Structure 1
Amino acid sequence: MTRLKDIAKACKSKNAGPFHVTLDIMFDDATLFERVRRTGTIRAELIASLYGVPLDQVQFTEYPPALAWKATIPRRIPSGAIGDTDIYGAQQHAPLLDIDVAI
């Protein structure tokens, strides 16, 4: 097993408006991207599980021309609201880093 943080070019997050966060997983090697893609590891169900959101609230896109996956999920607390600890949504990618991939 290999952790995603060791093979992906980037795993990042950002606001998608005040009520959602977008998560991006990107590769810079087409062969490696395809190997990971064939495992079926990165999918909407995994994102829902990692972030504790219902599957029907995960907007998930696999985009092979960019060697990437994108998922948009609802924020637990709106950006800038009382209790929000990440106003830009830039620190929400951490759970992606430890995804195990059997390549």
Structure 2
Amino acid sequence: MPDHTHTPPVLGDFALEVRSKNAGPFWVTMETFMKDSAGYAIAADETFLNEQVIAHLYGADAGQVQIFRIPALNVVKISFPRPIAQAGLRDRDIHAGQHHVPLATLEVPERHLVSGGLAT
């Protein structure tokens, strides 16, 4: 009988921390602090995490998404314009403290697990 309780791994599973914060009233910055170089290899892989993926997750313009890969720290930093200015009438997260959730719960495809040496 198949195991239906298996949940696919998500980016947050390979991170020490995934966080988001204001980068001024008009921008959001998110950071993924990966546990090790294998996790960093997944987060830094441009075929997995790129401007188009962020644009899709957050409704941002892919042309304005900025991704900084910092291998010496196992960190990927992402910035994009806030959809609503900080403290605007429709702003539901004034400190951008919850913006990281879609990124942290982004499913990691099997092919990235194998290439990162994490497949079992």
TM-score in terms of structure 2 length = 0.76
| Equivalence for 2:79 | 72
1:9 aligns with 2:27: no
Give 5+ residue unaligned stretches, structure 1: none
Amino acid at match of 2:85: P
TM-score in terms of structure 1 length = 0.87
Give 5+ residue unaligned stretches, structure 2: 1-7, 114-120
Runs of 4 or more, structure 1, over 4 Å off, are none
**Percent of paired sites with the same residue:** 33
Distance 1:15 1:39 in 2: 24
Amino acid at match of 2:13: D
Q: 1:81 to 1:7 in 2, by over 3 A?
A: same
Distance 1:61 1:23 in 2: 10
Q: Offset of 1:28 from its aligned partner?
A: 2.5
Q: Offset of 1:91 from its aligned partner?
A: 0.9
| Equivalence for 1:33 | 40
Q: Offset of 1:7 from its aligned partner?
A: 1.7
**For this pair of structures, how many residues does the alignment match?**
102
What do you get for the CA RMSD once the two structures are aligned? 1.6
Q: Offset of 1:38 from its aligned partner?
A: 4.8
